[in-house]
Structure 1
Amino acid sequence: MSETTTLLTGNKRAPLGRSRARRAEAIGAWTLLAPYAVLFLIGAAIPIGYAFVTSLQKAPTPVDPTTGFGGLDSFVTVVTDHRFWSTFQNIAIVMAIWLPIMVLGIVGLALLLHASPNRFGGAMRFIYYIPGALGGIANFVLWVYLLDPQRSPIAFLWQGMGASSFKEVVTPGNMPGILTAMLFFQGVGTWIIVVNGGLNGIPEEVLEAAKLDGANAWQLAWRVKLPIIRPWIGYAALMNIAYGFQLFLEPYLLRQISSGAIPPEWAPTQLGYAFAFTNRDFPAAAAMSIILLLITLAIGWVIVRKSGLFGEDERGN
């Protein structure tokens, strides 16, 4: 009789214990998530919602100063603007050159770093990170110096191209190459460290088993390491794509310094800026931002699906 009572009470306590454990786990998860949720609402959800509402408004004009609901008129205004497709064409050319070089550079150097001895690897991690420390305006000032044929240590390259002034170097045809170099050296070091962190998370038992099976260094990198760090590579590609569509500072300042060598609306973000502060058409500017968001989300969704980012591993953990 006592054994039956013990079994019954034990069976009752087990689900009760699991329920409490799940509840405590959920409370802990929501507690950790709360600060991010607040920041997401303030920095993303509310601004996106406000932009969407604004994009559906009617922009006042000197002929018709009234405002109100305008439907999709702002989106039509943006898409039919003669500068719209050229701005995306410019960014597409930069992406086609920069992203493959960026991803290949990140993965190749991270694999080399991971296979290097400890002391050498530590020194190389520091060297790779130095360009990342020159982010933003510091990186831009450095490249302004390098692009000036009168002062640059690589002036022979520009002079060999027939350029004798900064304005002759910064031309629409040279912009994809210039931005590729600027963005690559600014961000490659930081992303090498991120991907190298994924490589360091590979269990030594997996690598040792591959070596015992006769895998050489190339096979180890191609068949073992790369499939495991695919989510990290996808994350790096996703964030760089998002950054590429947000390009504004570099083309804007290059135009200022080169005395208008490139169009004022060279990138999509510059076109949105022109809608807002030149045309005074804030609904069109909001519509431009929504279009950029949708394009970025669509590309991000494809990358997340293909790379396995945020997905479960093969063991189902």
Structure 2
Amino acid sequence: MTVTATETLTTADRRRRAPRATTGRRRAPHRVEARGAWILMSPYAALFLVAAALPIGYALWISFQKAPTLVDPSTGFGGLDAYITAVTDYRFIDTFVNIFSVMIIWLPLMIIGVVGLALLVHASPGRFGGSMRFIYFLPGALAGIANFVLWVYLLNPSISPIGFLWRGAGMDNLKEVVTAGNMPWILTAMLFFQGVGTWIIIVYGGLNGIPDEIFEAAQIDGANAWQLAWRIKLPLIRPWIGYAALMNLAYGFQLFLEPYLMRQISSGSIDAEWAPTQLGYAFAFTNRNFPAAAAMSVILLVITLAIGMFIVFRSGLFGESEKSK
């Protein structure tokens, strides 16, 4: 028997309809609800204005200015010159190839791993499930520099507990391990183990938010454990999966610290402008071309927003997903 989320929701609806009909609660007037929503949203709106909208507007304005040079120190409106400078730079394509090579490997592994482990934990209630949640969260406690130091230790063949693997692959020192070809895999491992525990807990919270009546209705309809996970739980946590994908996507495009420090510890075995953010940094503080750096920021914003909007609409993150008929 095939059980779908729509059928289960219908059954669960029928089970809940009678008690809800007897509550007799009156709906608050629409105007009061709207006023309450604006009051609750106002702190976020102020924070968004200060921390996001104004910086974005300022970056957009700077990107249309003309960068002063020794030959022409004048400033003013430069049109699309900064964007042309950024896009035609010989490092521009390579930086995006590098970051997309990480995202193509890391994002699918992250989402599949997070969702799979969250479903396993949710299907294992009691002490075992609680212990596993704690164990999964431990790598996430090693964030930032602590996580980086740990991986420097693991990647160094001379001191790493897995050094025999590096030496078996013909890599005897850190410079041979940290190469341009290995960077997507190294960053994937670093980012996965840094974030997987936190996102398991978040997706697990989404699973706990599903009413028990839905699972009871699915069992009445004849769903087994696999059908419960694949046809009931997964469709209902699509917004949570979309949220995880969206936030990890934004984090991936902002990679700067990891490749920057990797270059430092490997004595320059990878390019100084390995990621788009590093190229923007070079425009600003090496070339003294702040309009080109602002143009890089705007380009990154547009790409991230485009992919992010696709994720939002496909996952139903900010609205009810369309029910199958």
1:107 aligned partner: 115
Aligned to 1:211: 219
Q: Is the 8 A contact 2:157 2:163 kept in 1?
A: yes
Say whether 1:286 aligns with 2:299: no
Q: Which residue of 2 aligns with 1:274?
A: 282
Structure 1, unaligned runs of 5 or more: 1-16
CA distance, structure 2, for counterparts of residue 154 and residue 37 of structure 1: 49
| Matching of residue 52 in structure 1 with residue 60 in structure 2 | yes
Instruction: Please give the alpha-carbon distance, in whole angstroms, between the structure 2 residues aligned to 1:303 and 1:257.
Output: 36
Once the two structures are superposed, what CA deviation does each residue of 1:271-299 show, in whole Å capped at 9, x if it has no partner? 00000000000000000000000000000
Letter of the 2:319 partner, please give it.
G
The offset of 1:26, in angstroms, is 2.2
Distance 2:224 2:180 in 1: 46
In the other structure, the counterpart of 1:11 is none
CA distance in 2, matches of 1:57, 1:261: 35
Equivalent residues in 2 for 1:1-317, closer than 5 Å = 21-312=29-320
In structure 1, how many angstroms separate the alpha carbons of the residues matched to 2:256 and 2:64? 25
Using the TM superposition, give the Cα deviation of residue 151 of structure 1 relative to its aligned residue in structure 2, in angstroms. 0.7
Work out whether residues 105 and 184 of structure 2, in 8 Å CA contact, stay in contact via their aligned partners in 1.
yes
Deviation at 1:247, TM superposition (A): 0.3
SS state of the match for residue 182, structure 1? helix
Distance 1:100 1:313, change over 3 A: closer
- Are the equivalent residues in 1 in contact too, given 2:315–2:321 (CA < 8 A)? no
Structure 1 vs Structure 2: percent identity of aligned residues? 75
SS at match of 1:47: helix
TM-score of the two chains, using structure 1 as the length reference: 0.92
Q: Deviations over 1:192-227 (max 9, x none)?
A: 111111101111111111122221111110000000
- TM (normalized to structure 2)? 0.89
1:183 Cα deviation after fit: 0.2
Offset of residue 80 of structure 1: 0.4
CA distance in 2, matches of 1:160, 1:26: 65
Return structure 1 stretches of 4+ with deviation > 6 angstroms: none
Q: CA deviation at 1:313?
A: 5.1
Aligned-partner SS, 2:255: coil
Report 1 or 2 for greater relative contact order, CA contacts < 8 Å, sequence distance ≥ 6: 2
| RMSD, matched Cα | 1.3
Structure 2 residue matching 1:187: 3-state secondary structure: helix
Q: What whole-Å deviation, never above 9, does each CA across 1:142-163 have from its counterpart, x for those lacking one?
A: 1011111111111111111111
Structure of larger gyration radius: 1
Instruction: Provide the rounded CA distance (Å) in 1 between the counterparts of 2:213 and 2:41.
Output: 33
Unpaired runs of 5+ residues, structure 2, are 1-25
